[in-house]
Each structure stands twice: as structure tokens, then as C-alpha cells.
Structure 1
Amino acid sequence: MWQNAHDAYLESRILSADPLELVRMLYQTCIGSVREARRHLAEGDIGARCRCTSKAFGILTELTCSLDHERGGDLSQRLAKLYDYMQRKILEANFQQNDAPLAEVLGLLSTLSEGWDGIRESSQPVEQAESPWSQPMLSEPTPELATHGWSL
């Protein structure tokens, strides 16, 4: 029951996310998979490690496929090379059963994720300026000014 609710929530989040948020979600999921792979490597759980590295590899493939080389230019090409490098490091870690390549991939992904978060923050629309009439008055009028000196 809980898994169905979680899956529905995740599907809703994905379907309503903008492209920047989708990439952020992919980075976060990939980071989680690499962390889990490192943990399973330390524990000697080969099957779980392979599942986690496979998931991270697949996410990097998806990130590579999502690059727009026409609009992205040089940045897009550099990201493609970086994603390819990380995939090779994941394969190296898996074949050699070595943590160092996974630690390197984790560092690269964390840096990319932080940079992506910065892009996301800087691309948020600026709040429209408030009307000067919505601001409180600097000083409250004195009673004699408020009634223009009239009395009842």
C-alpha cells in the first residue's frame, strides 16, 4: 500500500516538474545510488552494489541523452564528456571492486548538483515590486490632522 502511494507521489512530482527540477532530481537520485553502491561495496554485497551502479549508470545515460547540443553548444559537449567519464569510472569501480572511482564520481556529481541548484535559484522569477500604496505609512497622522481640527 505504501509503495503505491510513494509511486503515485513520485509520478506526480515528475509529471509536474519543470526541466530544471527534473535534472536536479536525476542528480540527487544518481548521488543516492552511488552512495548506496559504496556502502554495498564496503559490505561485500555484490548484487546490491551492481544494482546501484547500474541505476547510476542509467541515470548518466539519461542525462547524456537529454543534452541539447544545438542550444547547449560547448557546455553541452563538456557535460557529455563528463557524463561519459563518470560512466567509465562506475564501470571501473564495479570491475575492480574499488571504492576510489565511486568516491570520485560522487564528488563530481555533488559539484554538478550544487551548480545546478545555483542555476535554479538564479533563474527563479524576481518577485514583482510591491505597490507603494501597499506599504504602511511612515508615520501615523496625528488626530488633529486626521480630523482637520474638527471636533464634535
Structure 2
Amino acid sequence: MATTNPYQSYKQNSVNTASPGELTLMLYNGCLKFIGLAKNAIQNNDIATRNVNIQKAQKIINELMVTLNMDFPISKNFMSLYDFMNRQLIKANIVNDIKILEDVEFLLTEFRDTWKEAIQINRQKQYAAGGQA
């Protein structure tokens, strides 16, 4: 009989029950986590770990790009910024530059914080309208 890790089960359940907005927030947080790990790897001169974590961050940015709803005019701006961040991640990986990672981290933090605020406003409106989710 296999034992399951309660933390892993909790994480999996969180993903399975999250709204699309919460999933996007998780992507932003994951990307920020991997950028932080890549920055630490650069400081420790750990090229392999830097590369792995930057590539993980790139995969998340690519997922954000693929799932972007292009029916809205603002989506073109998001796509341009995601593309810029992706190119900057590639550059940071090639030239081993923490500053470039910090610039991408700043942009992603702004996106994440704005997204989180939008989720909170939406929840407040739903609660005020009678609690329908």
C-alpha cells in the first residue's frame, strides 16, 4: 500500500478545485518562485540549477501566452509583455544576469498583485450579490 504525502495531496487538491483566476495566480506565483531559485543559483554559480529554473519560468510564461484570451483588446498588450519577459529570461540564462531576472520579477510581481486584487474585487462583488460563486 502506497502512502501519500499529505502536503502533495493538499497541493493537488488546491489545483483541482481552483477557479481559472486562482490558477493564473498560481502560475504567477510559481514563475516568481522559479525566478527566485534561478537568482540564487546565479549567486552560487550553479549553472545547471539556474538553467532548469529559468526554463521552468519560461514554460509558465508560455502557458500564460497560450491561454491568453485574445478576444479582448488588452490581450495584445499582455501578449507583448509576456513575449518580452520570455525573451528576457532567455537572455538572462545566456548571459547569467541577475539584473535581467530582477526586471522580469518586477513585471511579474506587478501582474500577480494586480491579478490578486482583481480576484478579491470579484469575490467581494459575488459576496455582495448573494454569495453565488
Does TM, scored on the shorter chain, surpass 0.5?
A: yes
CA RMSD after TM alignment: 1.8
Q: Distance in 2 between matches of 1:20 and 1:64?
A: 15
Larger Rg: 1
Specify every segment of 5 or more residues in structure 2 that has no aligned partner in the other structure, as ranges.
none
TM-score, scaled relative to structure 1: 0.78
Q: Distance in 1 between matches of 2:7 and 2:50?
A: 23
TM-score, scaled relative to structure 2: 0.89
Q: Distance in 2 between matches of 1:39 and 1:2?
A: 33
Alignment of 1:108-127 (within 5 A): 108-124=107-123, 125-127=126-128
> Which amino acid is the alignment partner of residue 106 of structure 2?
G
**Alignment deviations for residues 35-88 of structure 1 (CA, whole Å, 9 cap, x no partner):** 110110111000111111010000000011111112xx2211111111110010
Q: Distance in 2 between matches of 1:100 and 1:22?
A: 28
Question: Does 1:93 pair with 2:71?
Answer: no
Partner of 2:7: 6
Q: Distance in 2 between matches of 1:30 and 1:77?
A: 21
Question: Does 1:27 pair with 2:40?
Answer: no
Q: Percent identity?
A: 26
In structure 2, the CA distance between the partners of 1:2 and 1:77, relative to structure 1 (3 Å rule), is farther
**Secondary structure of 1:126's partner?**
helix
In structure 2, the CA distance between the partners of 1:21 and 1:81, relative to structure 1 (3 Å rule), is same
Partner of 2:46: 45
